[in-house]
Chain A
Amino acid sequence: GQQLNQSPQSMFIQEGEDVSMNCTSSSIFNTWLWYKQDPGEGPVLLIALYKAGELTSNGRLTAQFGITRKDSFLNISASIPSDVGIYFCAGQGRVQGAQKLVFGQGTRLTINP
């Protein structure tokens, strides 16, 4: 099925470093979402973006909805051990006539203390 192109696929960083990941799509989406998934659990919503160009922060997390509505990035500043996990971007819009989420492949974040 349709997927977003999310990069990087994995990141290995030192605690305290900043993190940046992004998603691109060939399709336009009305909403961009960023989720974090810990092992054995469901994804948890981090940030929701509703307008092209919108820049939104949630604590140390900042995300932007690209002006073309085809991309988004997520930044994490001053990473801490609990940031470890898999981050998924998701575009929400009409896919084949129904409103659905299209997910990126995920970015696995590993932090060395």
Chain B
Amino acid sequence: GAVVSQHPSRVICKSGTSVKIECRSLDFQATTMFWYRQFPKQSLMLMATSNEGSKATYEQGVEKDKFLINHASLTLSTLTVTSAHPEDSSFYICSARGGGWQPQHFGDGTRLSIL
């Protein structure tokens, strides 16, 4: 079945550091990738949608200069949290979808902790 790999699984770093998270679709070509944020005991909140080769579309309230998304190929998208601060600490999850009405498949998430 469709496998999405997300790396790293956990990051602990100092305030002001920029952190890059990778999301790869391993056995299918992902025309669209999505980035979510999840707070404890809450549902997933969509941050942005990215299509290969084009700029990401950010949800209302998500700072595009803070959360840089690059989708350079059909199998790789990256999320960079720039100059991270403690309030950026969260669980970030990516998903990928092939064409048409295929469902989204999720990575295992990245736990980001900013000290």
Contact = CB atoms under 8 A, between A and B. Distances in A.
B44 A1 contact: no
B100 to A, nearest CB: 10
B49 to A, nearest CB: 6
Contact of A103 (B44, B101, B107, B108): B44
Interface in A98-113: 98-101, 103-106
Secondary structure of the B side of the interface? strand
A30 B102 CA distance: 11
B57 interface: yes
Interface in B5-27: 6
A103 B43 contact: yes
Interface string B36-72: 0000001111100100000001011000000000000
Contacts of A25: none
Given A30-B101, A98-B57, A1 B46 contact: yes
B110 to A, nearest CB: 10
Secondary structure of the A side of the interface? strand
Contacts, number: 57
By size class, the interface of chain B is 20 to 34
B103 A106 contact: no
Nearest to B9: A40
Nearest to A95: B46
B49 A101 contact: no
B97 to A, nearest CB: 8
Given A42-B107, A43-B106, A101-B46, A1 B101 contact: no
B93 interface: yes
Contact of A42 (B42, B59, B108): B108
B111 interface: yes
A50 to B, nearest CB: 7
B21 to A, nearest CB: 12
Contact of B105 (A1, A41, A45): A45
